[in-house]
Amino acid sequence: MAFIYQESRFVEDARPGKDYLLGFIPWGYKSSAFGYAQAKDEVWGDYIKASGNSGADRDDIDDAMDFIGWYIRQSNKVNKVSVWDTKAQYLNYHEGWGGYRRGTYKSKAWLTKVADKVNQRASRYGTQYRGCKDSLDDSWF
């Protein structure tokens, strides 16, 4: 949930900023990222193949959550990052597995600060969940 908040603020059809030709003519988007998880086309395709969920949509919150879970598990396999290490997982998510392995985030102080915020938000969400877990377990939905 903290990843989705950071990536899209829970906006289902979120996109990155636009590129401009000559500084003022809109010329497409900066990347193919789209939806709640801001998943790019290529890695979304990898997720579809791996999960077998051919009907998954980036603007569906359940699919976006499943995608992030898949990505976290892959980061654990590929880069040996604990699934519980939110900061390192977010850096994997932002930089990609190869970028994380090369340490590209190390020259981006702003990104480390963002990853810290994602980690804090995840901790806050966890605390909130634990505070109401029992009442959710007993609810009719």
Q: Write out pLDDT tens, residues 35-79.
A: 999 999 999 999 999 999 999 999 999 999 999 999 999 999 999
Q: What is the pTM of this model?
A: 0.90
Q: Do the domain assignments include residue 139? A: no
Which residues are CB-contacts of 68 (< 8 A; sequence separation ≥ 6)? 3, 4, 37, 93
Amino acid 141: pLDDT: 59
Residue 136 has pLDDT above 90, yes or no: no
Q: Do the domain assignments include residue 12? A: yes
d(CA 41, CA 35): 11
Confidence of residue 18 (pLDDT cuts 50, 70, 90): confident
Mean pLDDT, the chain, rounded, equals 94
Question: Look-up: residue for tokens 């392995």?
Answer: 101
| Domain, as residue range, for 33 | 2-20+28-130
Which residues are CB-contacts of 86 (< 8 A; sequence separation ≥ 6)? 2, 118, 119, 122, 123
Residue 134 has pLDDT above 90, yes or no: no
Contacts 24+ apart (CB under 8 A), 75-78: 75/100
Confidence of residue 139 (pLDDT cuts 50, 70, 90): low
Nearest of 40, 21, 18, 41 to residue 30 by alpha carbon: 18
Counting the structural domains of the chain, the total is 1
Q: 82-102, pLDDT tens digit by residue?
A: 999 999 999 999 999 999 999
d(CA 79, CA 120): 22
d(CA 31, CA 15): 8
Question: Look-up: residue for tokens 């499943």?
Answer: 66
Residue 135 has pLDDT above 90, yes or no: no
Q: Count other C-beta atoms under 10 Å from residue 71's C-beta.
A: 21
Amino acid 104: pLDDT: 98
Which residues are CB-contacts of 29 (< 8 A; sequence separation ≥ 6)? 15, 16, 17, 18, 19
Q: Give percent of the chain above pLDDT 90.
A: 83
